[in-house]
Structure 1
Amino acid sequence: MRVAVIQMSPGADKARNIAQARALIEAVTSREAVDLIVLPEIWTCLGGTRAQKFAAAETLPRRGMAGGEAYEFLREVAVRNGIHIHGGSIGELAGDKLFNTSLVFSSKGEELARYRKIHLFDIVTPDGQGYRESAIYGAGEQVVTCEINGLKVGLAICYDLRFPELFLQLRRQGAELILLPAAFTLQTGKDHWEVLLRARGIETQCWVAAAACTGMHREPDGEPRYTYGHSLIVDPWGHVVAKASDGTGWASAIIDHGVTERVRANMPVLEHRKLV
C-alpha cells in the first residue's frame, strides 16, 4: 500500500485552505498511484481568532449522513480518486466546545473512523511563546484504530507524539501503521520532530506516517507563528524512508508488510515487555 503525506501551509481562511488541499491532492494523484493520502493537523483553520476557529469548525454528522464543507470535500476526493483519505484533523463543533478531530474515509466515501485528539498542547516553547490548546478544544478519550486495505491503522495527532503509552496501546490493538497529522511548532520541531517519530516507530515496530503543516500563520493579535513541516514516513526499524522538502508538497512510500513481520519476528519486544 502506497501512502502519501501532504504538507500544507494553511491559515485562517477555510475556503483557501480547502483549495490548497485540493490542488495538492490532485498533484499527488496525477503523478503517483497512491492508496492512502494523509493531510496535516487542523488544516482547515490554523491561527486566526476564536470566532474564526468556531466558524470554520463543523458539526460531524451521523455516519452515512451529509456533513459540512470540509467533511464533504474529503469524502468527495476519496470517491473521485478511488483512494482512502485521512483528513488530517479539523475543528469539530460539539455544543459550546471544539474538538481537534481526525476523519478517515474509504475509497467509496464511507467514514471509517473519527478520532479526537487526547493530549492538548498547553506549553511554552523555548523562545517564550505560549500555547494553550485547552482554551479552545476539549480532549478526546478514546484510542482509535481502523482497517485500510486489510491493514490495521492507528490514529494520533501532533502532541500525542510525546506520549508513548498511546502508541503502545495502538500497537496492542493490532496497528501496523500509525498516522499522525501535525502542526508542530518550528521551535520544538527542529529539535524533537524526527527524533520522536523515529522513536515511536522503533518502540511499536510500526510504520509511522506524519503529515505536517509548514510556514507562517498569524495569531489574533497579528503575531506570526511558524510550523516546522518536514512531513515524513518512518519504517518499523526507525528509518526515515520518505520526507517532504521545505514548502508545500508531499512525500510517499510503500508500506511493506514483509518489513513489519521481519522486524517483529527478529525482535519480539511486545512479548518481552514486563511493565504495562
Structure 2
Amino acid sequence: MRISAIQMNPGADKAQNLAQARELIQGALADGRPRIVALPEMWTCLGGDRAKKFAAAETLPPEGSNAAGGEAYECLREVARANKIHVHGGSIAELAGDLLYNTTVVFDPNGVEIARYRKIHLFDIVTPDGMGYRESATFKGGDRVVTFKAHGTTCGLAICYDIRFPELFLKLRQAGAEIIFLPAAFTVPTGRDHWEVLLQARAIETQSWIVAPACWGRHLDGSGEPRMTFGRTLIADPWGLVTARVPDGTGWITSRADATVTERIRRDMPVLAHRKFV
C-alpha cells in the first residue's frame, strides 16, 4: 500500500495552514499516487496564544454520525472523497470545554470518518536548550487506544510525545496494527537526538511500519518567542530501516508499506509470542 507523509511549516494562521496543506497534498497525489495521505501534528494552528489556539479549534461531530464538521474537518473529508483515498488528518485541536484535545481523525475514500484518536501523553517538559513546554495548560489527554482498517490492513494511531511510551505501541501491535501513524511537531533539541532513533525503536519492537509526518521550521509561541520544529518526516519498515525521509523544508515522501515484509519479519522473529511479562 502506497502511503504519502506530508511535512509542513504551519503557524498560527489557520487559513494559510489550510492552503499550505492543500497544495502539498495535491503535490503528493500527483507525484506518488498514494492510497493514504497523512499530515503532521497540529498543522491547522501551531503556536500563537491561547485565544488563537481556541479560535482555530473545531467542535467535532459525534463519532459515527457522519455529520458536518468545521473547516479543517471538512477539508480532510473532501480530499478523501474527491481523490478516493484514505486521509489521516495528522492532528487538529478539538474543542472540549475549557481545554482542547489534540486529536487525529481519519477518513475513508468515501469521506466517512472511520477513526478518532486523542493524544494520551502530554508534553510537559523543559528541553535541553531551556525552553519550557506545558501542553497540559491548554490540552487534556485522551484515554483510548485506537486502530482502523485501510484496504484490509490494521493501522494504529499515536501522536508525537506518545513515541516515548512503548507500552502504547505494544497495545497497538496486540490490537493487530501493521502500520502505525505518528504525526509530530518535535522540538529541534529533542528531534536532533531522539526523533529517528525512537521511531526506529518503535518500528523494531512492534515489527510494524511507522509513518511519521512532521512539522518543520519556525513559528512563534503565545509571547511572540520563536520556536523551531525539527521536521525529518520519515517512513520506517518493520525492521527499523528508513525507507523515505523529507529533508529540511516543506514537502512529502511516498513509500510502499509491503505487507509481505511485515509477514516475513514477524514469522522469522516472533517476538510477540516470546513475551513473558505483558
Q: 1:199 aligns with which of 176, 201, 207?
A: 201
Q: Report matched runs for 1:9-88 at 5 Å.
A: 9-62=9-62, 63-88=65-90
Partners of 1:252 and 1:123 in 2: CA distance: 32
Partners of 1:19 and 1:46 in 2: CA distance: 15
1:26 is displaced (CA, Å) by 0.7
SS in 2 for 1:22: helix
Partners of 2:170 and 2:28 in 1: CA distance: 31
Deviations 1:230-272 (A, max 9, x none): 0000000000001011100011110100000100001000000
Deviations 1:65-96 (A, max 9, x none): 00000000000011111111000000000122
For 1:29, the aligned partner's letter is L
Partners of 2:156 and 2:185 in 1: CA distance: 19
Q: What is the match of residue 238 of structure 1? A: 240
Q: What is the match of residue 227 of structure 2? A: 225
SS in 2 for 1:138: coil
1:220 is displaced (CA, Å) by 1.6
For 1:59, the aligned partner's letter is T
For 2:51, the aligned partner's letter is A
TM-score w.r.t. length of structure 2: 0.99
SS in 2 for 1:15: helix
Partners of 1:251 and 1:232 in 2: CA distance: 7
Q: What is the match of residue 96 of structure 2? A: 94
Q: What is the match of residue 214 of structure 1? A: 216
Partners of 2:31 and 2:159 in 1: CA distance: 27
1:221 is displaced (CA, Å) by 1.4
1:198 is displaced (CA, Å) by 0.2
SS in 2 for 1:137: coil
1:122 is displaced (CA, Å) by 0.2
Q: What is the match of residue 275 of structure 1? A: 277
Unaligned runs of 5+ in 2: none
Partners of 1:169 and 1:273 in 2: CA distance: 13
Out of 23-32 and 265-274, give the one that drifted further: 23-32
For 1:259, the aligned partner's letter is V
For 2:3, the aligned partner's letter is V
Q: Report the identity percentage.
A: 64
For 1:50, the aligned partner's letter is R
For 1:20, the aligned partner's letter is Q
Q: Report matched runs for 1:114-129 at 5 Å.
A: 114-129=116-131
Unaligned runs of 5+ in 1: none
Q: 1:181 aligned to 2:183? A: yes
Partners of 1:187 and 1:31 in 2: CA distance: 32
Partners of 1:103 and 1:193 in 2: CA distance: 23
RMSD between superposed Cα atoms in Å: 0.5
TM-score w.r.t. length of structure 1: 0.99
For 1:243, the aligned partner's letter is R
* Structure 1 consecutive aligned stretches of length 4 or more whose deviation exceeds 4 Å: none
Is the contact between residue 124 and residue 136 of structure 2 (CA under 8 Å) also seen in structure 1? Answer: yes
Partners of 1:95 and 1:13 in 2: CA distance: 22
Partners of 1:50 and 1:32 in 2: CA distance: 37
Q: 1:107 aligned to 2:109? A: yes
Is the contact between residue 28 and residue 254 of structure 2 (CA under 8 Å) also seen in structure 1? Answer: no
Partners of 2:49 and 2:221 in 1: CA distance: 7
Q: Report matched runs for 1:135-150 at 5 Å.
A: 135-150=137-152
Alignment: residue pair count: 276
Is the contact between residue 184 and residue 214 of structure 2 (CA under 8 Å) also seen in structure 1? Answer: yes
Partners of 1:119 and 1:149 in 2: CA distance: 29
Q: What is the match of residue 2 of structure 2? A: 2
